[in-house]
Every structure is written in C-alpha cells, then in structure tokens.
Amino acid sequence: MPELAISTTAISKTFDGKPAVRGVSLRVETGSVYAFLGPNGAGKSTTIRMLLGLLRPDQGDITLFGLDPRQHRGEILARTGSLVESPSLYAHLTARENLEIPRRILDASRSDIDRVLKIVGLENARESLVKTFSLGMKQRLGLALALLGNRQLLILDEPTNGLDPAGILEMRSLIRQLPTEHGITVFLSSHLLTEVEQVATHVGMLSQGEMVFQGTVSELEQMRRPFLRIVVSEPESACALLTAKGWEVRAVDGHLVASDVKAVAAINRTLVQAGIDVHHLATESASLEEVFLRMTRAEVR
C-alpha cells in the first residue's frame, strides 16, 4: 500500500441544510501532484478548508500523514503549507522582509529564506519591494511563504487563477518540480482541465459535492472512449437509417457519432448502398475535456 499524505473517509459538510460536500473519500499518495477538479461551486474549497482544519466535517474522518488532526494538529500544521486565494503580502516591504516575519514565528533558520526564494525563482529579487512585483511574482512569493519550514505537503487552492500565460507557465513548472526535486507532495484544486494535462500525476473529480472519479492520469486517459465520427451528405437520413439497422448513432453539430468503432466497414457500406455520400468516416477518441464534462455532468452552453 502506498503511503498517503492525505486520507479522508466519507467526509460531508452542510451549510443551512444544503449539502456542500457529500461522502468524499480522498487518497493522496506521498510524492504525487494531486489535481482536485470540479466546476465552480462543486465543493472544492470547502473540502480544502476541512483538510486545513478551518472547517470541521459534519461526518467522516480526516488524516494527514496518517495522523488525526484532532490529536496531532501542531505536528500536522508544521508539515503542511497552504496557499488559499491570494497571498497576504506587505507591498511596502521587500520579498525577504515579507518572509522574515513568518520565519521568526516558525522559528526557522535565517538560511530558510534563501532556500525558499531559490525554489520559487525569486532569489535575485529578495531585496526588491513587493509593490514592484508582477502578479505571477506575488503568487510565487506566496508559495515561498507556504514553503517556509520543513513542509512536506502543500495545499493550493486555484494556484494559477488570475495569472497571465507567462505566470501560469512559471507556476506549473514550479509545481512539477516540488515532488521530484524537493520531496513535497502537492494537492491543488482547479476547475481547469489543463492543470491535469500539464502538472498532475493523480486526479480526483468532484461534482455537486460528490466524488465521481479518483485515480491516476493514465487511468483517466483510458476513459477517453473511442468513437466513429461520420460526415455525410444527408445526416438526418443517415442517422435514421443507421439507427434502424441497430447501431447507436447520434447527431452532433452537423455530423454523426457512432459508438461501435468495429463497425466502420459495415456502416460505410450501408450508407453508400443507400445512396448517401460519405465525406468523412474515422475513429476518434473523446478529449479529456469531454470526459471531464461527462463525469461532472456539466452542460456545454
């Protein structure tokens, strides 16, 4: 059994009689980048607040590093860093000065400031005022704050939210390096499927407060069901004909989609014999975005 940095068992939370999180069981392996995905309002932030001890679950259990937060809160907090929403920074102070205050509170060594600034790529801006920083630099400084001390787990809530493309690339590159180069497990929430494709090793999908998928990125890839995309001269007639022949076919944006990829030759022959011109007939796979929308039951608008 892999060692788990985070484990929850059927945690639930209700606000004013309305369920926000329902029976969520997480398994976050040590050394992974775990992307916690779901549409806005799915319950991701509520789950993160329960993991950090900011909210108590109405039901279920939580352990971090195999420890119960109710009995080992101090030890867990000492090993866990977090960045939730925008970092709280003093714009009139330098990057180093912003880190000096929490360093003293944590009783970390002075050299720890240089260590975390190097990790986030701000070692050359240590004496620069934060008010001169770009949004991406501020986000990385916030990450440096979360890394102060002996952190073994980072919990990040929408870490690329609001960043420009350059800032997003910087943050993704940094997140990928944390487990492999620094031994830090990363748990990040996002509503962007690109986070999975770019940084994650494991995925959990949340929909309306419930887990609908949990596994590795490769397991998610396997859910990309192959299908036949068919472009014909008379889509309505072709759809009716193929359905009458027993194939599962539906019309999508002017073309047809059939689920039986092994029937490509038979479908082509049936259409041609009926006098319907076939312009395109090929096997394709669903995109990760389509899988995400299907799993979370979201509607394309």
Where in the sequence is the domain holding 78, given as residue range(s)? 4-221
Both 76 and 183 in a single domain? yes
Q: What's the token pair of residue 90?
A: 């003093």
In a domain, 45, yes or no: yes
Instruction: Write the pLDDT tens digit of every residue in 150-170.
Output: 899 999 998 888 888 888 899
- How far apart are the C-alpha atoms of 70 and 59, rounded to whole Å? 14
Both 199 and 256 in a single domain? no
**Residue type at 28 in one-letter notation:** V
Residue 102, number of CB atoms within 10 A of its CB:
15
Both 32 and 146 in a single domain? yes
Instruction: Write the pLDDT tens digit of every residue in 94-116.
Output: 999 999 989 999 899 999 999 99
Q: Is the pTM of this model over 0.95?
A: no
Both 94 and 31 in a single domain? yes
In a domain, 50, yes or no: yes
In a domain, 290, yes or no: no
Contacts (Cβ under 8 Å, ≥6 apart) of 151: 79, 80, 81, 184
Domain count, the chain: 2
The pLDDT confidence band at residue 299, using thresholds 50, 70 and 90, is very low
Answer for the pair 263, 247: CB distance below 8 angstroms, yes or no. yes
Q: What's the token pair of residue 126?
A: 């240590």
Strand partners, 144: none
- How far apart are the C-alpha atoms of 147 and 117, rounded to whole Å? 9
Both 207 and 231 in a single domain? no
pLDDT at residue 186, as a whole number: 97
Both 58 and 99 in a single domain? yes
